[in-house]
């Protein structure tokens, strides 16, 4: 059971816009930055979005992130076949038992 | 070019210990916090531990606290994870990852190693 909740799957046709949600709480998303990682099949994860909505150099502007309250979302516009991957949200969690980075369970994006 | 090279996969028995290594190059190692993240077979990502650039501050997931120890040798550009009392559910691919920042709080993991498969089985 992941601390952050994501839908297990999402899909779209090429060119469509796909949105992935990530739900948390006041101790993580509600008070800390949200990050998104993309994991292509058989490879290590890659930082896609940091600090809610910033893109590292080289990440296309088709990818965008946002946060509202204790939820966040990742949008992929102009979906392409190479976007087929697993996407994970992450946030620091300020729990009393010990702070740490928490991930969502991941969302598998399929390009139909 | 930033590179994080991890040691090879290994099979160990429950209760045994293992030290994972991650050799860093292409950046000022002591200026970056580092983390270990693992991924069980067909499962999602789980953050395991983080360490500041100086090595003074460390953080652990509850699932490994007291069993795993993260450390670094800035003179050798090496990151380590000492894993003790390994359990079957520790079986996973373990990734080392570089942080964009020097402090380990709120990791921003911009480069990842290739991963090391650790299999714990009798």
Per-residue pLDDT tens over the stretch A27-67? 999 999 999 999 999 999 999 999 999 999 999 999 999 99
Mutate to test the interface with B, among A2, A101, A106 (most CBs of B within 10 A): A101
The two beta strands, A34-39 and B10-12, are unpaired
Which helix H or strand E contains A34, and what residues bound it? Answer: strand A34-39
- Residue A106 in this model has a pLDDT that exceeds 90: yes
- Residue A104 in this model has a pLDDT that exceeds 90: yes
Contact assignment for A98 to B35 by CB distance below 8 Å: no
The per-residue pLDDT for B91 is: 98
Which residues of B, range 23-82, sit inside 8 Å of A by Cβ? 35, 37, 44-47, 50, 59-62, 65
Contact assignment for B46 to A103 by CB distance below 8 Å: yes
Using an 8 Å CB-CB cutoff, list chain A residues near B95. 44-45
**What are the C-alpha distances in Å from B15 to residues B48, B85, B100, B119?**
18, 4, 35, 12
The per-residue pLDDT for A98 is: 77
Using an 8 Å CB-CB cutoff, list chain B residues near A104. 44
The per-residue pLDDT for A23 is: 98
How does pLDDT run along chain B (122 residues), one tens digit per residue?
A: 999 999 888 999 999 999 999 999 999 999 999 999 999 999 999 999 999 999 999 999 999 999 999 999 999 999 999 999 999 999 999 999 999 988 888 889 999 999 999 999 99
Q: Is A54 on the interface with B (CB under 8 A)?
A: no
The per-residue pLDDT for A40 is: 97
Q: Compute CA A75 distance to the chain's CA centroid, rounded to the nearest angstrom.
A: 9
pLDDT grade for A95, boundaries at 50, 70 and 90: confident
% of chain A residues with pLDDT over 70: 99
Alpha helices in chain B, H assignment, sequence order = none
Give the residue among A87, A90, A92 at the shortest CA–CA distance from A103: A90
pLDDT grade for A1, boundaries at 50, 70 and 90: confident
pLDDT grade for A97, boundaries at 50, 70 and 90: confident
Strand order in the sheet with B18-25: B3-6, B18-25, B78-83, B68-73
Give the residue among B1, B50, B5, B49 at the shortest CA–CA distance from B24: B5
What's the gap in Å between the CA of A28 and the closest CA on chain B?
10
């Amino acid at each position: 059971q992941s601390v952050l909740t994501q839908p297990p799957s999402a899909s779209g046709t090429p060119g469509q816009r796909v949105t992935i949600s990530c739900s948390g709480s006041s101790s993580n998303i509600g008070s800390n930055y949200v990050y998104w990682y993309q994991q292509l099949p058989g490879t290590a994860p890659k930082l896609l979005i940091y600090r809610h909505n910033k893109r590292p150099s080289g990440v296309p502007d088709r990818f965008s992130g946002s946060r509202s309250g204790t939820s966040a979302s990742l949008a992929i516009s102009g979906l392409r076949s190479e976007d087929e991957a697993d996407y994970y949200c992450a946030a620091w969690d300020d729990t009393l038992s010990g702070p740490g980075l928490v991930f969502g369970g991941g969302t598998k994006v399929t390009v139909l | 070019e930033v590179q994080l090279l991890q040691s090879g996969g290994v099979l160990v028995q429950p209760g045994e210990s293992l030290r994972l290594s991650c050799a860093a190059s292409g950046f000022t190692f002591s200026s970056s916090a580092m983390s270990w993240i693992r991924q069980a077979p067909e499962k999602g990502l789980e953050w395991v531990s983080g360490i500041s650039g100086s090595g003074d501050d460390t953080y652990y997931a509850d699932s490994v606290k007291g069993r795993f120890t993260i450390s670094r040798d800035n003179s050798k550009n090496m990151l380590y994870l000492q894993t003790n009392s390994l359990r079957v559910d520790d079986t996973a691919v373990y990734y080392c990852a570089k942080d964009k920042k020097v402090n380990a709080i709120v990791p921003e993991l911009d480069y990842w190693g290739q991963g090391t498969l650790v299999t714990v089985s009798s």
